[in-house]
Amino acid sequence: MRTWQVERRKRTRHLIELGGLVVKAGIVDLTGDDRTTILGALIWIAEKLRGDQREQTRAIWAAKGKQAFDMETEPRAGLSRAK
């Protein structure tokens, strides 16, 4: 496989994973899959990260994200994870 093909696949995987985060956060359902609203929200996020409260904002959002990922990986009492 050529180098450009490998790089293209890595980029595609990365974009799919980022889209998965949008779905996992419930944004697609909450907006009725309105891409204009989703893009507006993402632009708002970018603006917050360019502001003077950047580090505090990132810290809050990172903590929320970590909590969500941790809850996803914790085994739930009384439930088995059959696949």
- Locate 25 and state its tokens: 């956060």
**What integer is the mean pLDDT of 53-82?**
84
For residues 65 and 18, give the distance between their C-alpha atoms in angstroms, rounded to a whole number: 13
- 81: in domain: no
Q: Is the alpha carbon torsion for 27, 31, 32, 37 positive or negative?
A: negative
In a domain, 33, yes or no: yes
Q: Is the pLDDT of residue 74 over 90?
A: no
Residue 17 lies in a domain: yes
Q: How many domains does the structure of the chain reveal?
A: 1
- Kindly report the three-state secondary structure assignment for every residue of 16-41: HHHHHHHHHCCHHHHCCCCHHHHHHH
Dist CA 75 CA 80 (whole Å): 8
Query: 15 lies in a domain?
Result: yes
Full domain range(s) for residue 43 = 3-73
**Rounded to the nearest 5 degrees, what angle is found at the Cα of 3, between the Cα atoms of 22 and 5?**
50
Q: Is residue 78 part of a domain?
A: no
pLDDT confidence of 83, banded at 50, 70, 90?
very low
Instruction: Tell me the per-residue pLDDT of 10-67, one tens digit each, with 9 for 90 and over.
Output: 999 999 999 999 999 999 999 999 999 999 999 999 999 999 999 999 999 999 999 9
